Structures are given as C-alpha cells and as structure tokens.
Amino acid sequence: MVLSHAASAGSSDDSVHSTFASRYVRASLPRFRMPENSIPKEAAYQIINDELMLDGNPRLNLASFVTTWMEPECNKLMMDSINKNYVDMDEYPVTTELQNRCVNMIAHLFNAPLGETETAVGVGTVGSSEAIMLAGLAFKRRWQNKMKAAGKPCDKPNIVTGANVQVCWEKFARYFEVELKEVKLSEGYYVMDPEKAVEMVDENTICVAAILGSTLNGEFEDVKMLNDLLVKKNEETGWDTPIHVDAASGGFIAPFLYPELEWDFRLPLVKSINVSGHKYGLVYAGIGWCIWRSKEDLPDELIFHINYLGADQPTFTLNFSKGSSQVIAQYYQLIRLVTTSVF
C-alpha cells in the first residue's frame, strides 16, 4: 500500500518540479551580465553541469602533463580542507606544518646539503610558473646586490636559457625586465647546448636556466656538463654565475628512474630548483614547489613578515590567499607512494 501526502494549497511546489521542466530553464541566462532574479540551486547546478559536458574529458587530456586522477581517500582529504585559506597560518598550523614537511622531503630528494637539524628553504606555489618567478627574483636581487657592492651598474640583467623553455621563462623576463638570451636549437638537438649557453654568459647574467624535462620532447638537459663548464668560466672571470634547474616535469622522475644522474644540489652551482607537484608529483592542478640550496640563496629583503592574525608569519609568494587542498594532497602522495630508501 502506497501512502501519499498532498501538499497544501498555499505551499510552494518548486521542490517537485523537474529541473528540465521548470520555468528557470525555459529562457536563456545572460552570458556577460548577472541575471536580474535568482534561481534555485538545482537549476543553477543543472545549467552549469550541462554546459560543462562540452568540455573535454580530463582523463583523456595528455596536453599539459597534469594529474587528472587521484585516489578517493586523497579526494576526500582535499574536499575536507577545501575551505581552508592556506595563508592563515595561525588558524591552520597543521597545514603549515604539512607544507614544511613537503619542502624538507623534496629538498632531501634533491640532495640539498642540509645538516641533521637544519631545515630546508623552500615554498609551495600555485605551480612551476610562480616558482620560477620567485627563483628568478631571488637571482636578480642577489645579482643586483653584488653589482651595487662592487660599484657597478645593475640596470641590465640577463638570463641564459635554451629556446625550448616553457613560456613562463619569457613571462619572467618580460614582467621583471630581464633580457632573455636564448640558445638556439639545432637539427637533431632539441635542448640547450651547454657549451653555447656558457659562451653567452657575461657579467650581467643572473643565472643560467637548465631544463630537466623539456616541454617539447621531455628530454633532460645536461646539467652536469653545464655546471662543469660554468665552474671553469667563473674561475677564469671571477664571476659567480649560478644555475637554476627547471625540473617541472623531471623533478619527480629523475630521482627514482635515474638516481645516479647528477642534476640537482649535488652540483655546486645549482642554487634553486622548481618542480611541479601537479605533474609527476601526482596532485591535481594548482601546486608547485621552489627549493633553494641554502638560506644565503634567498635574499632576506624578498621575504615579507605579516602579523594580521597575531604571530609573525614570513611569506615569499606572488599571491596571498590560496587553498590548502593541494598542499595536503602533495603530503598524502609523498607519504603514500615515496619509499624512504630514496632519501
């Protein structure tokens, strides 16, 4: 026997309307203006969900090497923390601790020369693009300070890269007024030639950027050869031109598949490394990392100290507010998948 209850004459019947049959989807919503009237949550969801069906399937997207699947347990952790603003460190001290653990784990993975009780220097970012901006700013400021101390002009910095670099390097050069000196590629050799790169280095070069995992073909550049050639040139000239390694794609691959390959902080001129957590760090898009060799490689004047919530909070990022989910997801992957034998 089926029992039914009739609604009273004065009650709203919105709840029993089929979304597709409701009056809220009979007329098109304005594309570039907010609608004059509100609509029920069910209708808003259905309209947006149906339009998003025209997007591609993320699981089939190989275009940008970005992670598109994570385990359900990690998805739950991300949803549980989606409303946490990462920058509120006093409010979310455990989230801050998890980021610090990630920084130290990655620094050890990259063979940073840390003492037993020494903590690593690094920061979580929105992606490798922000990480590269921060690393570039550190190189530029250190070069400026050095030139000023020597009484030399510091208005024409340059950076040497291969022509195969990702567009974020061009953005850095244009946004922060640094000349980009690109080593041209040649037939059959589609990464930066270390010898040609070192030839382009001059006193105004803030760093040479090497790519560990070219966007074009995934190939690793020879960071070891670049380091050796640059050491020799520095000795001959008295300069101290450093190296940054853009390991956005290869940073979470080389330590496991090619542990004997010297590309990281084992090389003395490598002062900073960026890596994308949302590529082979196996986290959804929105997380990158920048790690510095030592505190001396990150000028203090670039670090801001805020006390909006009471305690002193050092910060070195281009943005301010951001979600905590990706940081937590990165920590999940590092303790879930990475074996301690690597460290």
Q: Which letter does DSSP use for residue 119 in this model? A: P
Which pairing describes strands 304-306 and 270-276: parallel, antiparallel, or unpaired? Answer: unpaired
Q: Is 202 within 8 Å of 180 (Cβ atoms)? A: no
In a domain, 144, yes or no: yes
Q: Which CATH number do you get for residue 171?
A: 3.40.640.10
In a domain, 205, yes or no: yes
Q: Would you state the pLDDT for residue 91?
A: 87
- Calpha distance 273→291 (Å, rounded): 5
- Calpha distance 230→234 (Å, rounded): 6
- The domain tally of the chain equals 1
Handedness of CA 201, 204, 207, 209 (dihedral sign): negative
In a domain, 131, yes or no: yes
In a domain, 17, yes or no: no
| Cα 208 to Cα 183, 212, 270, 271, distances in angstroms | 11, 13, 10, 11
**Based on the number of CB atoms within 10 Å of its own CB, is 184 exposed (0-12), middle (13-18) or buried (19 or more)?**
exposed
Q: Would you state the pLDDT for residue 22?
A: 73
Q: Is 169 within 8 Å of 132 (Cβ atoms)? A: yes
In a domain, 342, yes or no: no
Q: Would you state the pLDDT for residue 2?
A: 53
In a domain, 45, yes or no: no
In tens, the pLDDT along 159-206 reads 999 999 999 999 999 999 999 999 999 998 999 999 999 999 999 999
In a domain, 59, yes or no: no
Residue whose pair of structure tokens reads 């900073």 in the numeric block: 272
Type and span of the H or E element at 180:
strand 179-183
DSSP SS3 for 200: helix
Q: Which residues of the chain have pLDDT under 70?
A: 1-21, 25, 338-343
Structural domain for 134, as ranges:
105-111+121-335
- Calpha distance 290→310 (Å, rounded): 27
| 334-337 contacts at long range (C-beta below 8 A, 24 or more positions apart) | 334/101, 334/102, 334/105, 334/106, 336/71, 336/74, 337/282
In a domain, 75, yes or no: no
Residue 313 pairs in a beta bridge with 306
Q: Is 160 within 8 Å of 208 (Cβ atoms)? A: yes
